[in-house]
Structure 1
Amino acid sequence: MTMTRFESIGVYLPEQEVTTRELIDSMDTEPMFDLEKLTGVKSRRWRAPHEDCHSLALEAIERCLVNSRYEADEIDVIICTSITRFKDGLKFVLEPCLSSYLKKRLGMREDALNFDITNACAGMFTGVHVLDQMIKSGVVRNGLIVSGECITPISETALKEINNPVDEQFASLTVGDSGAAVLMDQSPSDDEGVEFLELLTLSQFSDFCYGMPSDKNPGVAMYTKAMEIHATVIQRLPQTLGHFAEKYQVSGADFAHVIPHQTSERAIRSALALCSESLGDIPNICVSLDRYGNTSSTSHFVVLNDHIQQGHIQPGQRILMLVLASGIVLGVASVRIGNLTGAH
């Protein structure tokens, strides 16, 4: 069966940069650890007052379409995978859905499909999985997946509420705002495309991370049991990757790069080091969280775009996408990159 491919991508990053040091200096309670050293996050992008999930997503789509051969009225479906749903400031809007708003703003055809999916930080690759099957089954010819993550409001809540050195809101200080979009269609050759993609949810650990309205202040908060998540992933990731490696007859040596979800550089490298027995030699690990932080559901495409722009990732290279998310979600995707042009 012919593969689908990433026909074009677009990433938008707000102009304002905020350093980890600036955040820590603004707090009454400092962590009992060096947050920057532990996570590798030195700075992140922060939304402007006029920006929200809708505008971040729209900016990313516009950059994606600049790189695409398709016009907006030629797209058959738009899928929004944002965790956050802020519009007009900090108003959290569930209906009408974000994809409906974007479809109208872009001038897409009336008969084009639109829907939203949320799956924590695995959202965009959940959208990729669904769209991949829609294209292969002939339901649509192409489609657009987009996420506008206006997620720094959880940082603002954390700055107000953290009151002990091991508070569960410290992970909220690692996030950054962004928008990412990817347009997919049927691959014209075997030289580029999504070779395989699988996601596994370990729902018994869903209580390790919650996003909800704060019970202390107006706004949204995230409570994360970071140590428990790390221990669970460390324990299960090697076996999970080993299963996928055996199923698809691949090893680390078959890939030029691995792009993991961007949480903590120390955690990423330690987890992948443990996977060497089941996966073999680990390829070059692509990390951009030192400058952008954890951009949640957009992270793989922010990193892909960044490393294409820097010339590290070249057309024809095979990339292992390592999907990790609260839930807990573990997954892998093998993607052979075509002639993409990074744009942000």
Structure 2
Amino acid sequence: MIELSSATEIDAPAEAVWRTLTDFEHFSEWNPFIREAHGTTDVGGTVTVRVQPSFGGPRLPLHATILFRDDNHELRWKGSLLAPWLGAGEHTFTIEPIGAHRVRFVQREVFTGALPRLLAPILARETQRGFDAMNLALKARAESADRARSWMLLEPRSGPGVRVESVGSALPSRRLTTADLMASTRHRTRIDLERLTGIRERRVCGPGEDSRSLAIAAARDCLSRSRHAAEDLDVVISASITRYVDGTTHRMEPPLSLSIKEAIGAHRATSFDLANACAGMLTGVFLLDAMIRKGEIQRGMVVSGEAITGLGRNAARSIRSIFSLQLASLTLGDGGAAVIVERAPDGKPNVLLAGFTTLAEHSRLCVGLPAPHAPGARMFTRARKIHEVAMSDGPALIEEVLASRGLRLGDIDWLIPHQTSVRAIRSGERALAARMGDHPRHVVVTVDEYGNTASTTLFIALDKYLREGRLGAGDKVLLLSVASGLEVGVVVLAIDELQEAYGHAN
């Protein structure tokens, strides 16, 4: 007889660990040891698993019978490789609560038969490696599935209601096609970026345009459709990643928000800069939502100007293949956006939900660093890994946060996701449908003509669709941000008289 075990502590409740452990259908997505499992967890039922040895090679099939099941506590099966006399194993999974939302997970196997005794050293080594790898993967999976507990959310009835009062945007007139951008690369790459991303063109700053000028133009555009004047604003938040002024000067101090508020005439407003990567503007909306609900302010503006295509120019000097970590820099576009958020008059809020969470274990997947031999910076992105994380963790997070307000994905009329590429947006759409068994009526895509405009993407898209009269009164719009960090932000708003400011009747 040979007995092996492995244990790990998981920051998730027993129910979350149990759901992951017994969801055989999705083992292939996360389990490095038991790569496949088919069957039932009912006592007396059978399950067929395929185990992947650490040295590679074909997966080993095992046929087992469920011996014991205690939901949220223990699952035990006994199986054999070929015949019981040749080799059999009794495998036990145990979940032991050690706190309100923390458990100790233990895998244990007892081997009997001639083959385990003959191959004891190899069997012990491979099984132990498999147990340890599976435990770590289960920990990551269960914790991510339960991560919605860390959503920062305001109670729906806490304080007065909040509404988005007006939106504005500003885009440079100069267009740069993807074909022209790829023709500018120093090395011959053979990358068909337009086919890969769906991006045909993007806007780029011309002479006299920079982060500050785009932000000011967007703020003025927003005020042109507002019932309020600039002096009515209590707060101005600048959420730009880039802070270029006077063309190529990247200014750290004084804050860009100070220049913006002075330029638009919001002289009495408190102002500050906020940095949260591509989630910056949505983070600003979340903060204004909280400040209004607490009665600290009546209204505020979040504004951003992104002159970010310099990252693409720097990437073009060094990129050689599709595997370059700077590839995502070639998808960027310049643009500005602004939004005014206010205390809802007459108790008619249109912000139904505002929440944020962070997947901090993935914080190094997108990193920006100074460019050593050129102006500006360089960005290194493990885009494939970010996409994998978004596909595996995102749907569960979104499902949980919508459910917290009694919403389903099918209640959403327009989903506006962060605009990275057409392919990524369509993959996300399929992943959400698979997880939630539902889908929004429409998914907004603007990346094909504007590129990824960083912190401004969601509000440039919202402004575009309002301008075009596509959004109707009562439509629910889900703004979804996924940004370096990884930051995940959600705002759900119901279109009220917003579209009237664009000349569209209800």
* Pair in the same fold by TM > 0.5: yes
- The match for 1:183 among 336, 340, 345 is 340
Whether contact under 8 Å (2:185, 2:318) holds in the other structure is no
Deviations 1:132-159 (A, max 9, x none): 1111111111001100111111111111
Q: How many Å separate the matches in 2 of 1:44 and 1:226?
A: 19
Compute the displacement of 1:215 (Å): 2.1
Tell me the TM-score normalized by structure 2. 0.65
Q: What is the aligned partner in structure 1 of residue 295 from structure 2?
A: 138
Q: How many Å separate the matches in 2 of 1:277 and 1:61?
A: 39
Task: Could you tell me which runs of 5 or more consecutive residues in structure 1 were left unpaired when the two chains were aligned.
Answer: none
Compute the displacement of 1:66 (Å): 0.6
Q: How many Å separate the matches in 1 of 2:399 and 2:409?
A: 10
Compute the displacement of 1:163 (Å): 3.3
- The match for 1:41 among 182, 191, 199 is 199
Compute the displacement of 1:329 (Å): 1.1
> Is the aligned partner of 1:320 residue 2:481?
no
Larger radius of gyration, structure 1 or 2? 2
> Is the aligned partner of 1:210 residue 2:392?
no
Match runs of 1:1-344 below 5 Å = 1=157, 2-31=160-189, 33-110=191-268, 112-188=269-345, 192-283=349-440, 284-340=442-498, 341=501
Whether contact under 8 Å (1:191, 1:316) holds in the other structure is no
Whether contact under 8 Å (2:187, 2:317) holds in the other structure is no
Whether contact under 8 Å (1:169, 1:224) holds in the other structure is yes
Compute the displacement of 1:33 (Å): 4.2
Deviations 1:189-209 (A, max 9, x none): 565511111111111111111
Q: How many Å separate the matches in 1 of 2:502 and 2:181?
A: 30
Compute the displacement of 1:106 (Å): 2.1
Equivalent AA in structure 2 for residue 338 of structure 1: D
Equivalent AA in structure 1 for residue 471 of structure 2: I
Q: How many Å separate the matches in 2 of 1:28 and 1:93?
A: 29
Question: Residue 262 and residue 74 in structure 1: after superposition, are their counterparts in 2 closer, same or farther (change >3 A)?
Answer: same
Other structure's SS at 1:51 match: coil
Whether contact under 8 Å (2:418, 2:457) holds in the other structure is yes
Whether contact under 8 Å (2:215, 2:338) holds in the other structure is yes
Q: How many Å separate the matches in 1 of 2:248 and 2:193?
A: 27
Compute the displacement of 1:235 (Å): 1.2
Deviations 1:23-45 (A, max 9, x none): 01121334454211121111010
Question: Residue 192 and residue 29 in structure 1: after superposition, are their counterparts in 2 closer, same or farther (change >3 A)?
Answer: farther
Q: How many Å separate the matches in 2 of 1:311 and 1:281?
A: 25
Deviates most, 324-333 or 49-58? 324-333
**Greater relative CO, 1 or 2 (CA 8 Å, sep 6+):** 1
Other structure's SS at 2:404 match: helix
Deviates most, 201-210 or 117-126? 201-210
Question: Residue 240 and residue 101 in structure 1: after superposition, are their counterparts in 2 closer, same or farther (change >3 A)?
Answer: same
Compute the displacement of 1:56 (Å): 0.4
Q: How many Å separate the matches in 2 of 1:251 and 1:9?
A: 26
Task: Could you tell me which runs of 5 or more consecutive residues in structure 2 were left unpaired when the two chains were aligned.
Answer: 1-156
Q: How many Å separate the matches in 2 of 1:332 and 1:135?
A: 18
Other structure's SS at 1:64 match: helix
Q: What is the aligned partner in structure 1 of residue 129 from structure 2?
A: none
Compute the displacement of 1:271 (Å): 1.6
Residue identity (%): 39
Whether contact under 8 Å (1:315, 1:337) holds in the other structure is yes
Deviates most, 184-193 or 214-223? 184-193
Question: Residue 238 and residue 30 in structure 1: after superposition, are their counterparts in 2 closer, same or farther (change >3 A)?
Answer: farther
Whether contact under 8 Å (1:9, 1:342) holds in the other structure is no
Other structure's SS at 1:145 match: strand
Tell me the TM-score normalized by structure 1. 0.95
Whether contact under 8 Å (1:192, 1:337) holds in the other structure is no
Q: How many Å separate the matches in 1 of 2:254 and 2:415?
A: 37
Q: How many Å separate the matches in 2 of 1:169 and 1:12?
A: 26
| CA RMSD, Structure 1 to Structure 2 (Å) | 1.6
Q: How many Å separate the matches in 1 of 2:291 and 2:190?
A: 48
Q: How many Å separate the matches in 2 of 1:164 and 1:175?
A: 18
Equivalent AA in structure 1 for residue 215 of structure 2: A
Whether contact under 8 Å (1:29, 1:165) holds in the other structure is no
Whether contact under 8 Å (1:149, 1:298) holds in the other structure is yes
How many residue pairs align between the two structures?
342
